[in-house]
């Protein structure tokens, strides 16, 4: 007999079916036993009746524990009182795998188990439909973004995660012993993205792990996260990268609504799809923040509090959940960001904030080697010692720019999750490296 998924049972009313899954709940009375079964497609009430269910099966149900895996053969009956409209009258039940008791975590909808404990036993936690919905949406976010980039002429590449140099900032590197030599876990595919723009692909992207040795204990930082990085050649200005990102966000929200209506409903999420994302220079943002009592110097970056506040201001003023902040001071940007003509203190760069949290950083890159070398020097970096990076610029490279997103942050913001750890199956942070 073939297995029927629980979501398809309605079609089999009156018939005998075989179903398999986990025991979500079980209640044993002397003449009747209720069992809620769960599989990847949903859940369903089943019941055993003394005299109608096979004797051996009826007795065996006394031993079955919550979260055990079972197989049931039974008849699909209509039942107007059950919220499924149907239920399964069990003929036979077979225990496939018994779950030990007590369960280390409560994975029911009523659970109030703390996130840390849930992650310790994540495979039990993900049996909950709400938790599963988060990861179904996360998977779709990658897929929709990949489709969008493919349609726009980007090539999906894979670059090494074992590297010898970083271009973001040396402090965040994890050192690894590579047969007696020190190498690093990749803190960004930045160098390689630029390499393969120069390598003739013009447009490349990568979705891959990024490692940062940051000792940040926050609800938005991890030591390993999934980066969505893209880079595009033959641009005239950084605003062209922003135009693409704006289109990508609209495409993402539009397609998510189409592809995950059930998950978004389960998670009670709805977003307004923006037509345009407001763009504010950092200078303008700082003026707005000052009016609300938060002051920043010219060369300063915003702190999380400032990001949150500007998110609120933008929402009120423009009705937008997103905002681009542009033209960041060069003090707070890496050496490879291009500077606007005659403005040494600024960079042709931007961040995208989503409800007050940075989800993406981007910029036009400096592709003129002599200027790049000078900019690196000003930050105390000697490009002659970074031959692999330097070479990219010496044999013909188009003007280019790109961005890095954190998939974990996008998921967190999209689903209004309090902690980034909710959006990652097995998060890594300064104190967690297991399971």
Rule CB under 6 A: choose which of 360, 383, 417, 423 binds ligand 4AD. 360
Number of residues that this document lists for the chain: 435
Q: What is the largest CA-CA distance in the chain?
A: 89
Nearby residues of 302 by Cβ (< 8 Å), 6 or more positions away: 282, 285, 289, 296, 310, 325
Rule CB under 5 A: choose which of 320, 347, 361, 411 binds Mg ion. 361
Q: Which is nearer to ligand 4AD, 335 or 405 (CB)?
A: 405
Pairing of strands 175-178, 162-163: unpaired
What string marks each residue from 66 to 105 as x (binds ligand 4AD by CB under 6 A) or -?
----------------------------------------
- H-type alpha helices, 292-368: 304-318
Rule CB under 6 A: choose which of 263, 358, 366, 422 binds ligand 4AD. 358
Query: 409 touches which of Mg ion, ligand 4AD, none (CB within 5 to 8 A by kind)?
Result: ligand 4AD
# of chain residues touching Mg ion (CB under 5 A): 1
What string marks each residue from 201 to 240 as x (binds ligand 4AD by CB under 6 A) or -?
-----------x-x------xx--x-x-x-----------
Query: For residue 396, how many C-alpha atoms fall within 13 Å in the half-sphere facing its CB?
Result: 3
CA 430 to chain centre: 19
Q: Which is nearer to Mg ion, 361 or 364 (CB)?
A: 361
Query: 360 touches which of Mg ion, ligand 4AD, none (CB within 5 to 8 A by kind)?
Result: ligand 4AD
What is the smallest separation between the CB atom of 418 and ligand 4AD, expressed in angstroms?
Answer: 15
What string marks each residue from 165 to 184 as x (binds ligand 4AD by CB under 6 A) or -?
---x----------------
Contact between 427 and ligand 4AD per CB under 6 A: no
Contact between 362 and ligand 4AD per CB under 6 A: yes
| CA 14/CA 20 separation, integer angstroms | 18
* Shortest-Cβ-distance residue relative to Mg ion: 361
Pairing of strands 181-185, 203-211: unpaired
Q: State the CB neighbour count (10 A cutoff) for residue 31.
A: 9
Q: Which is nearer to ligand 4AD, 6 or 359 (CB)?
A: 359
Edge-to-edge strands, sheet with 279-281: 155-156, 203-211, 224-233, 400-406, 357-364, 349-354, 322-326, 279-281
Closest by CA to 196, choosing from 165, 156, 161, 236, is: 156
| CA 36/CA 45 separation, integer angstroms | 5
**Could you tell me if 79 and 70 are in contact, meaning their C-beta atoms sit under 8 angstroms apart?**
no
What is the smallest separation between the CB atom of 388 and ligand 4AD, expressed in angstroms?
Answer: 16
Q: Applying CB under 5 A, which residues contact Mg ion?
A: 361
Q: Applying CB under 6 A, which residues contact ligand 4AD?
A: 168, 188, 190, 212, 214, 221-222, 225, 227, 229, 358-363, 402-406, 408-409
């Amino acid at each position: 007999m073939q297995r029927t998924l629980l979501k398809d049972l309605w079609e089999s009313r009156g018939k005998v079916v075989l179903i398999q899954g986990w025991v979500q709940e079980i209640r044993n009375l002397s003449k009747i036993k209720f069992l809620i079964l769960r599989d990847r497609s949903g859940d369903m009430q089943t019941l055993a009746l003394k005299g109608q269910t096979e004797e051996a099966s009826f007795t065996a149900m006394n031993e079955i524990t919550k979260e055990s895996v079972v197989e049931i053969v039974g008849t699909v009956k209509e039942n107007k009182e059950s919220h499924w409209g149907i239920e399964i009258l069990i003929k036979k039940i077979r225990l496939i795998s018994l779950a030990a008791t007590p369960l280390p975590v409560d994975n029911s909808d009523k659970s109030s188990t703390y996130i840390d404990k849930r992650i310790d036993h994540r495979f039990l936690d993900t049996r909950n439909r709400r938790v599963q919905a988060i990861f179904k949406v996360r998977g779709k976010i990658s897929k929709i973004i990949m489709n969008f980039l493919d349609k726009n002429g980007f090539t999906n590449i894979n670059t090494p995660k074992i590297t010898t140099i970083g271009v973001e900032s040396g402090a965040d590197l994890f050192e690894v012993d590579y047969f007696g030599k020190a190498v690093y876990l990749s803190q960004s595919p930045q160098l390689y993205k630029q390499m393969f723009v120069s390598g003739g692909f013009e447009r490349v992207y990568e979705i891959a792990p990024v490692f940062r040795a940051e000792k940040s204990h926050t609800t938005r930082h991890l030591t390993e996260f999934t980066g969505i990085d893209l880079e595009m050649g033959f641009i005239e200005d950084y605003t062209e990268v922003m135009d693409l990102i704006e289109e990508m966000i609209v495409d993402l929200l539009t397609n998510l609504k189409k592809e995950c209506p059930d998950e978004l409903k389960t998670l009670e999420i709805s977003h307004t799809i923006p037509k345009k994302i407001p763009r504010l220079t950092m200078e303008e943002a700082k003026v707005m923040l000052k009016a609300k009592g938060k002051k920043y110097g010219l060369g300063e970056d915003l702190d999380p509090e400032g990001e949150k506040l500007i998110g609120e201001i933008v929402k009120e003023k423009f009705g937008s959940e997103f905002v681009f902040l542009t033209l960041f001071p060069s003090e707070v940007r890496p050496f490879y960001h291009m500077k606007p003509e005659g403005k040494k203190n600024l960079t042709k760069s931007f961040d995208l904030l989503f409800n007050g949290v940075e989800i993406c950083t981007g910029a036009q890159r400096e592709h003129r080697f002599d200027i790049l070398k000078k900019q690196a020097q000003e930050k105390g970096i000697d490009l002659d010692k970074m031959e692999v990076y330097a070479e990219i610029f010496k044999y013909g490279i188009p003007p280019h720019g790109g961005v890095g997103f954190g998939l974990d942050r996008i998921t967190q913001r999209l689903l209004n999750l309090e902690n980034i750890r909710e959006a990652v199956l097995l998060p890594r942070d300064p104190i967690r490296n297991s399971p």
